[in-house]
């Protein structure tokens, strides 16, 4: 029985690592950062108690999880600015339905002044503030039901806008295209969604996140087609998948896009969790911005605390001449 805690830690570590590759262990893969924190505390306790054998197990768990998480724990590289390409400011905000009100919208829009904002989990508590925001010449329809609906606010009218309801009326994927007034520049295709969360108890028993994964497959298919058509592509939203899970790896592979959190940036910042807490090991990074090769990252960071269980995701980019 002495070795039971070490054996349990080792088992959970293996399951968390498998979650980065195998769908059946997805829920455990989401918790790699939490497992790393638990393993580090476990190893420290064993060190203080001089339990050398079990300490080796704890250190092995820390090392394996740390190696898996390393790409999301280090600072991205810095790149030189491209002054001739203007900066486009984009904000993603999950407002948690009825738990926040108009002050959440007001704080986000006034503190970040985005050129484009995409909001989800809107309720009637937010309508007045959304409509009162200054400088936005375009607003898509205000959501009236599904927590997974998304709304676009933009300082420039999109060239076209549509919603794909391939996964049902309550799970739309938004596709907005912004094309330049002059030739020689590609259009920006902004794809936004709020995917359902994985099942909890069933997920712990190996059940795959079928609704979430189907919606992600729909969005990545759209991204791949827009990329093939020559657009700059930005896939934005709450994917309900941490970046070290098998689901997220499939999104990157299927879409042809890159994780903005790991790309070189003009103002690099270490990636931070967006849900529950901005601190690694306490929160989960499930809100994402994925970009095509022609999009240069200026800055990627969290926005202010707006009272939601999600922190806004702020992305400043430059669109280069070719995607």
pTM: 0.95
The answer to whether residue 91 scores a pLDDT higher than 80 is yes
Q: Do β-strands 173-178 and 160-164 pair in parallel, antiparallel, or remain unpaired?
A: antiparallel
Q: Specify the 3-state DSSP secondary structure of 16.
A: helix
Task: Give 231-254 pLDDT, tens digit per residue.
Answer: 999 999 999 999 999 999 999 999
Q: Which residue stretches of the chain are H helix?
A: 4-18, 26-29, 32-49, 52-69, 102-112, 124-132, 201-204, 210-228, 246-255
Residue 118 pLDDT level (bands cut at 50, 70, 90): very high
- How is residue 224 written in tokens? 């791949």
| Paired strand residues for 314 | 91, 301
> Could you tell me the fold of the domain covering 87-319?
Deoxyribonuclease I; Chain A (3.60.10)
Q: Quick one: pLDDT at residue 44?
A: 94
Kindly tell me if the per-residue pLDDT of 9 is higher than 60.
yes
Domain-wise residue ranges, the chain: 4-72, 87-319
The three-class DSSP label of residue 318 is strand
């Amino acid at each position: 029985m002495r070795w039971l805690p070490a054996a349990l830690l080792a088992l959970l570590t293996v399951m968390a690592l498998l979650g980065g590759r195998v769908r059946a262990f997805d829920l455990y893969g989401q918790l790699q950062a939490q497992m790393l924190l638990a393993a580090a505390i476990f190893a420290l306790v064993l060190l203080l108690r001089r339990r050398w054998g079990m300490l080796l197990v704890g250190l092995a768990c820390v090392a394996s999880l740390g190696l898996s998480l390393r790409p999301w724990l280090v600072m991205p590289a810095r790149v030189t600015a491209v002054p001739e390409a203007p900066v486009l400011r984009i904000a993603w905000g999950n407002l948690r339905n009825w738990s926040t009100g108009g002050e959440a919208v007001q704080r986000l829009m006034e503190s970040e002044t985005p050129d484009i904002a995409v909001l989800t989990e809107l309720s009637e508590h937010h309508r007045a503030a959304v409509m009162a925001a200054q400088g936005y010449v375009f607003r898509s329809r205000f959501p009236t039901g599904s927590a997974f609906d998304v709304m676009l606010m933009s300082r420039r009218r999109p060239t076209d806008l549509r919603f794909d309801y391939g996964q049902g009326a309550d799970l739309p994927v938004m596709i907005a295209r912004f094309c330049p007034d002059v030739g020689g520049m590609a259009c920006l295709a902004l794809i936004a969604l709020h995917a359902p969360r994985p099942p909890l108890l069933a997920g712990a028993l190996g059940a795959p996140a079928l609704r979430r994964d189907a919606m992600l497959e729909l969005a990545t298919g759209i991204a791949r087609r827009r990329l093939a058509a020559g657009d700059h592509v930005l896939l934005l939203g709450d994917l309900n998948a941490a970046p070290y899970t098998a689901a997220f790896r499939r999104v990157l592979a299927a879409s042809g896009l890159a994780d903005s959190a790991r790309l070189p940036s003009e103002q690099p910042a270490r990636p931070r969790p967006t849900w529950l807490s901005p601190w690694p090991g306490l929160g989960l990074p499930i809100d994402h911005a994925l970009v095509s090769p022609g999009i240069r990252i200026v800055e990627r960071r969290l926005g202010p605390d707006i009272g939601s269980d999600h922190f806004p995701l702020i992305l400043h980019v430059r669109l280069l001449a070719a995607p």
